[in-house]
Amino acid sequence: MAPPTTPPPKGSLSSHLPPLLLGTATFNTQYVPDPHSLPYRSIVSRAISLGVTGFDTSPYYGPSELLLGDALNALFTTSPTNPVPLPRNDIFLVTKAGRIAGDEFDYSPSWIRYSIYRSLQRLHTDYLDLVYMHDVEFVSPEEVLEAVTELRRLRDEEGVIKYVGISGFPVKVLVELAEMIKEKTGEGLDAVLSYGHFTVQNRGLAEGSYLERFKKAGVEVVLNASMLGMGLLTQQGIPPNPESKESPLVKWHPSPPDLRIACKKLGELAAEKGERLESVAIRWALEEWARVGAEAGVGVDATTSSGAKMKVGSTVCGVSSIPELEETVKEWNEVLEGLEKVAAADGEGKKDGHGRVYGSERSEKVLKLVEDEMWPALGEWVDFAWASPGEGYVNTRRPEDKGKVPDDGVIAAHEERVKNKQ
């Protein structure tokens, strides 16, 4: 384990949270047959070398925390192959708590404590930069409030967490919970992670007054995740046949067959323009959320290659290979360069019908492809969101088992580590 570290002073999240984070839900059997065979150490190391210093994981993502922790520990620790260890404070680590399995949730304070201590061990760190309560729509508002209160206690009394947030799928639920937490506690959430609701297929996060309500509820940062709709917006797509064995996503992805077919057509449109659907979807989501998140006042600080400072919406990207990582970072850097050009133009330059100034020819190409061809092709499936939880959902965690933690030495090991630091 890396030497004990002390978390840096807590300041504004928007000035510390990276604008682009690497999500490691892909380090999981839901996305790949054998996560342990992924070049996960190389992916993490390459991400850092490319300037991606934020990492998002969860105990729910199978071995993700263990694999990410192993990769980071190799960088944090001095060794013959790593003579200059990476300072822990150079990395922004995000995990989640509360979701145990597909339909199993425990938001009790004792389970949250156990989950956090276990994440600290798995990730080889003494503190977590940000922790979300995971998929909050699956439990009651009262359970969410109790869990957030416990995370804040761990933040204030034990110093093992710096920032606290919630994550989930239905934006309406996220907003209402953020408002409830602010009303009940007098303190807004540091962050909200929304996934699958700011994509080429579903723009729900920016619809209506959601972002304005988040801001009013005291939420400092809203992050966008799952730009590809959890694998829906890819050239390969997801087979509509639930019995197909072509992709591991078929077993669990909640999209209906007709939506999968409609998104497959988007891949054909992209190919006709010499593009891959993944590239178009990533570029559109990165560029538009960078702009929309900043304009809504829920963005973070970013620095361009030339040193220019700006506010942008923050995004979590998931990859399972170095080429995917490099492609995403390349798109992101081009987005920042384009936004810098737009800012420098100060309203001057080529504008489209919405009064937007394009930062590059590729920006114009992608926006027109999405708006003029892909959205019409999707038809009724534009902005469609499946129900979460789905029909018939029941929390399989029995009431009498909530709060029961395994006798696996996690708590004792944490207490011993704290004792040794004193």
- C-alpha dist (Å) from residue 231 to 51, 76, 386: 25, 32, 15
Read off the tokens for 32: 């790949």
CB 144 within 8 A of CB 166: yes
pLDDT value at position 352? 60
Residue 179: in which H helix or E strand, if any? Answer: helix 171-185
From CA 79, how far away is CA 85, in angstroms rounded?
8
- Residues with Cβ within 8 Å of 354's Cβ and at least 6 positions away in sequence, in order, are none
Residues noted as catalytic: 61
Residue 343: predicted pLDDT: 85
H-state helical runs in 204-321? 210-216, 257-272, 277-295
The closest of 114, 43, 138 to 388, measured between CA atoms, is: 138
Q: What is the DSSP string of 187-219?
A: ---SEEEEESSSSSS--GGGSTTHHHHHHHTT-
**Length of the chain measured in residues:** 422
303 by DSSP, 3-state: which? strand
Among 390, 384, 371, 388, smallest CA distance to 197 is for 384
Q: Which residue(s) pair with 316 in the sheet?
A: 21, 225
What per-residue confidence (pLDDT) applies to 344?
82
The strand ranges marked E within 13-106 are: 20-23, 54-56, 92-97, 99-101, 104-105
In a 13 Å sphere around the CA of 106, the CA atoms on its Cβ side amount to: 23
Q: How high is the pLDDT of residue 348? A: 58
Mean pLDDT, the chain cut into blocks of 10 residues (422 residues total): 58 96 95 93 98 98 98 96 95 98 97 98 98 98 98 98 98 98 98 98 96 98 97 95 88 95 97 96 97 97 92 97 97 94 71 65 94 97 97 96 96 92 80
| Contact indicator for 95, 57 with CB cutoff of 8 Å | yes
Q: Does domain 18-421 have CATH number 3.30.450.20?
A: no
Phi-psi region of 379 (alpha: psi -120 to 50; beta: other; left: phi over 0): left
What is the spatial distance between Cα 93 and Cα 95, in angstroms, rounded to a whole number?
7
Q: What's the distance, Cα to Cα, between the start and end of the chain in Å? A: 18
* Strand, helix or coil for residue 9: coil
Neighbouring C-beta atoms of residue 361, cutoff 10 Å? 10
Residue with tokens 């988040």: 214
What is the structure's pLDDT at 358? 75
Indicate if the alpha-carbon torsion angle 77, 78, 79, 82 is positive or negative.
positive
**Predicted local confidence at residue 351, as pLDDT:** 57
Element holding 345 (H helix, E strand): helix 322-345
H and E: helices and strands count for the chain: 12, 12
Residue 46 token pair: 């390459």
The residue extents of the domains of the chain are 18-421
pLDDT value of residue 1: 43
Query: Cα separation of 225 and 56, whole Å?
Result: 10
The helix (H) or strand (E) run that includes residue 166 is strand 161-168
Give the C-alpha separation, 245 to 264, whole Å.
Answer: 17
Picking from 229, 211, 218, the residue whose alpha carbon sits closest to that of residue 190 is 218
**Block residue for tokens 């620790």:** 77
Name the one residue in this structure whose structure tokens are 């499936």. Answer: 381
d(CA 52, CA 91): 9
Q: CB count, 10 Å around CB of 44? A: 24
